[in-house]
Amino acid sequence: MVSPEPRAAARGLAVVGMLALASACFSAPAYGGAADVVAATVRRVAPGVYDFDVTVRSVDRGSDYADAIEVLAPDGRRLGRRDLLHSHEDEQPFTRDVHGVKVPAGVAAVVIRAHHRSRGYDGRTLTITLPR
């Protein structure tokens, strides 16, 4: 007969292992790349003109940082861009605006992406539907 202590110890180790795995999954940064677009809002300010507030989570270290946010048409044409002039190492994630973006008639949604100085466009993008 096996004593209950080894079973209890094995169950305890299994629970600790599951907790460690869960902790790693939920506490590790959810980066897809060096500069991920994690949220955005959009406002129509005039017919065919939109303002975006874009939240980016990036791997910024000194002079190596997310240096631009772009708004693209579904076919990849760049409609708007905001250059970022400094690191946001101590402000993660951070939100910046891209205002006055002219969107052609018939475009119902746009893609937002961020650029990282050393890694380029390797991060997650976000597709957002435009308000009518």
Same domain, 47 and 108: yes
Q: In the prediction, which pLDDT does 54 show?
A: 97
Residue span of the structural domain in which 2 resides: 1-30
**Among 21-25, 57-61, 67-71, 89-93, which stretch is predicted with the lowest mean pLDDT?**
21-25
Q: Contact, 67 vs 116, CB < 8 A?
A: yes
The tally of domains found in the chain comes to: 2
Same domain, 13 and 58: no
pLDDT band at 5 (very low <50, low <70, confident <90, very high): low
Same domain, 105 and 59: yes
Model's pTM, two decimal places?
A: 0.74
Same domain, 78 and 121: yes
Q: In the prediction, which pLDDT does 19 show?
A: 37
Same domain, 74 and 9: no
Same domain, 63 and 21: no
